[in-house]
C-alpha cells in the first residue's frame, strides 16, 4: 500500500511540474509575438487572493482626515464659546473652597481619612496580642469599614461647600481606602490564623528551639551566610504605622508583608512622570471646561424631550472629548502617577495595566485595563467565594456586583443624586460580555474588539447625559428645563 501511495504522489508531482513547464512555454511563445503583449493573469489589488497588505497610505489619509476634523471642531468650539479654560476655578473645584476662602470641605475629609486607617491598625494590634477577641475584633473592622463608606455620603449630602470634582476626589479616595483596608485586614487574618495553627501543632516552638539549642558559635556561623539576604518581615512585626502608611501610599490595593523593592530611584524617569502628571491634569481639566461642559449642557433639552435625533447628535458630539479625557485620565493615572509613586517608594511591581486596547471581548478588557483592581478582586473576592464552594459564574457575578456598587458610589455621592445607572451599566457588562464573545467567535477577533471599543466610546457619554439630566431635575426642578426651552 505504501508503494502505491508513493507512486501516486510521484505521478501528481510530475503532472504539476509538467503543467508548469507548459505554462512557461506558452508564456515564452506569447511574449515573442509582434503585438508586444502586456497582460497576464492577475487578481484585483483589493481581492483576498491578491496577497496585497500594504495600506500605509490609507492609514495616513485617515489620520489626516481625523486631524482636519479635529481642527475644525476646535475652531468651531472657540468661535461659539470663546476661551472657557479658567485655571483659578480649578483650585475651587479640586478643594471645594468657596470664593471667600473660608472653608475647604474636600481637604477636611481628605485629612480625616487618616482616622479609620489608624483605627484599623489599633484593632489589628489588639487582635495580634489577644487583647481583643477575634469576634469583636472583626466586628470592629466591619463597623470601621461601613463608617468609612458612609462618611462621604453624609458629609457631601449635608454640606453645601463641596464642588463636583472635589467631592469626586473624596469619594474615589475613600473607595481606595476601603479596598486597601479590606486587603490589610484579610491578609493579617490569614497570617494570624496560620500562626495559631502553627502554635496548635507545636511547630512554632520547635522552630524557635532549633536555633536556641545551638552553641553561640554554631548559630553565628549558620547565620553568616544569610547576612546579605533581605530580611523578611514576619507577622505581627508588620503591625506599625510605617508599614501601614507605606501600603496606603503604594500603587497597589493588595497588601503584603514584604513588597518587592527596587534598589534606587531613577531621577530622570521620576522627572518625566512628574511633568506628565502636571501637564496631563491641565489637559484633562481644559478638555472638560472647553468641550465637555458645553456639550453636556446642550444635551439637556433634547434628552428631556426624548428627541432621538438631536439627543443622538449630542451624544456623538460629547463622545469624542469625553473619550479623549478618559484616555488622558487612564495614561496619567495608571502610567504616570502610579509609576511616580512606585519610583518614590521603591515599589518594584509596575504591572498597572496590560494591552486592554487589543481586547477581543469584554472579559479580557476588564481583566487587563486596571490591574490593581483586577488583582484585588481575584485575590479577595473571586478566589474566596470559589473556595467556599460556589461556582465560577457566581463568583464572577459577585465581583461585578461589588464593582457596580463602587461605580455607582463614585458617581451618585458627588452628584447627590442616588440613581442606579452606573450600577446597571456595570451589571450590564455581563450580557455585553456574551455579545462580545459571540461576535468574536462568529465574526472574528476584530469584530469582538470593535464591540469593546464601541462600549467604551459610547457608554460613558450616555451615562454622563443621563446623570446630568437627573441631577438638574433633582436639584433645580422642571423650571430650569422650561428656561432652556425658551433659549
Q: Please, what's the b/e burial string for 359-368 (b: 16 or more CB within 10 A of its CB; e: otherwise)? A: bbbbbbbbbb
Q: Of residues 407, 469, 475, 486, which has the active-site annotation?
A: 407
The three cell numbers locating residue 16: 504539476
Residues 6 or more apart whose CB falls under 8 angstroms from that of 451 comprise 361, 362, 432, 435, 436, 439
What is the CA angle 354-378-454, rounded to 5? 45
Q: Which residue's C-alpha cell is 456623538? A: 316
Phi, psi of 284 (to 5 degrees): -65, -45
Rg (alpha carbons) of the chain, rounded to whole number: 31
> Is-contact 312 458, C-beta < 8 A?
no
Residue 407 catalytic? Answer: yes
Cα 19 to Cα 13: distance, rounded to the nearest angstrom: 10
Q: Please, what's the b/e burial string for 166-178 (b: 16 or more CB within 10 A of its CB; e: otherwise)? A: bbbbbbbebbbbb
Phi, psi of 137 (to 5 degrees): -65, -45
Per the DSSP assignment, residues forming a β-bridge with 347 are: 261
> Is-contact 213 222, C-beta < 8 A?
no
Q: Which residues have a catalytic role annotated?
A: 407
Amino acid at each position: 500500500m505504501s508503494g502505491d501511495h508513493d507512486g501516486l504522489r510521484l505521478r501528481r508531482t510530475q503532472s504539476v511540474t509538467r503543467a508548469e513547464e507548459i505554462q512557461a512555454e506558452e508564456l515564452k511563445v506569447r511574449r515573442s509575438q509582434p503585438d508586444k503583449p502586456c497582460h497576464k493573469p492577475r487578481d484585483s489589488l483589493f481581492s483576498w487572493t491578491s496577497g496585497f497588505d500594504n495600506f500605509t497610505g490609507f492609514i495616513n489619509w485617515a489620520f489626516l482626515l481625523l486631524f482636519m476634523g479635529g481642527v475644525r471642531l476646535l475652531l468651531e468650539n472657540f468661535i461659539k464659546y470663546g476661551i472657557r479654560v479658567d485655571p483659578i476655578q480649578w483650585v475651587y473645584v479640586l478643594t471645594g473652597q468657596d470664593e471667600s476662602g473660608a472653608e475647604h470641605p474636600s481637604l477636611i475629609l481628605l485629612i480625616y481619612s487618616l482616622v479609620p486607617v489608624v483605627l484599623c491598625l489599633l484593632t489589628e494590634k489588639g487582635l495580634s496580642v489577644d487583647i481583643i477577641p477575634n469576634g469583636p475584633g472583626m466586628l470592629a473592622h466591619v463597623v470601621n469599614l461601613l463608617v468609612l463608606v458612609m462618611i462621604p455620603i453624609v458629609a457631601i449630602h449635608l454640606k453645601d461647600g463641596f464642588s463636583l470634582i472635589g467631592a469626586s476626589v473624596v469619594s474615589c479616595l475613600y473607595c481606595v481606602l476601603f479596598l486597601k483596608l479590606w486587603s490589610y485586614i484579610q491578609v493579617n487574618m490569614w497570617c494570624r490564623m496560620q500562626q495559631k495553627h502553627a502554635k496548635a501543632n507545636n511547630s512554632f516552638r520547635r522552630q524557635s528551639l532549633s536555633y536556641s539549642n545551638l552553641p553561640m558559635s554554631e548559630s553565628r556561623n549558620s547565620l553568616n551566610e544569610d547576612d546579605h539576604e533581605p530580611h523578611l518581615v514576619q507577622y505581627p512585626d508588620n503591625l506599625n504605622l510605617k508599614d501601614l502608611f507605606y501600603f496606603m501610599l503604594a500603587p497597589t490595593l493588595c497588601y503584603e508583608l514584604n513588597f518587592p523593592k527596587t534598589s534606587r530611584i531613577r531621577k530622570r524617569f521620576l522627572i518625566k512622570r512628574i511633568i506628565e502628571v502636571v501637564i496631563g491634569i491641565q489637559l484633562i481639566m481644559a478638555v472638560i471646561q472647553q468641550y465637555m461642559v458645553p456639550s453636556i449642557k446642550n444635551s439637556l433639552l433634547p434628552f428631556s424631550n426624548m428627541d432621538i435625533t438631536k439627543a443622538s447628535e449630542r451624544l456623538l458630539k460629547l463622545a469624542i472629548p469625553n473619550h479623549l479625557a478618559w484616555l488622558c485620565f487612564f495614561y496619567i493615572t495608571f502610567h504616570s502617577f502610579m509609576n511616580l509613586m512606585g519610583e518614590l517608594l521603591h515599589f518594584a511591581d509596575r504591572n498597572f495595566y496590560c494591552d486592554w486596547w487589543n481586547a477581543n471581548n469584554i472579559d479580557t478588557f476588564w481583566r487587563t485595563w486596571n490591574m490593581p483592581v483586577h488583582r484585588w478582586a481575584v485575590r479577595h473576592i473571586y478566589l474566596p467565594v470559589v473556595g467556599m464552594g460556589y461556582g465560577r459564574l457566581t463568583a464572577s457575578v459577585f465581583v461585578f456586583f461589588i464593582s457596580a456598587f463602587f461605580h455607582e458610589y463614585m458617581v451618585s455621592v458627588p452628584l447627590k443624586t442616588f440613581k442606579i445607572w452606573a450600577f446597571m451599566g456595570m451589571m450590564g457588562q455581563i450580557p455585553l460580555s456574551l455579545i462580545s464573545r459571540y461576535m468574536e467567535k462568529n465574526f472574528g477577533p476584530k469584530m469582538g474588539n470593535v464591540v469593546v471599543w464601541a462600549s467604551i466610546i459610547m457608554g460613558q457619554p450616555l451615562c454622563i447625559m443621563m446623570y446630568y439630566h437627573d441631577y438638574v431635575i433633582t436639584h433645580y426642578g422642571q423650571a430650569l428645563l422650561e428656561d432652556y426651552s425658551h433659549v
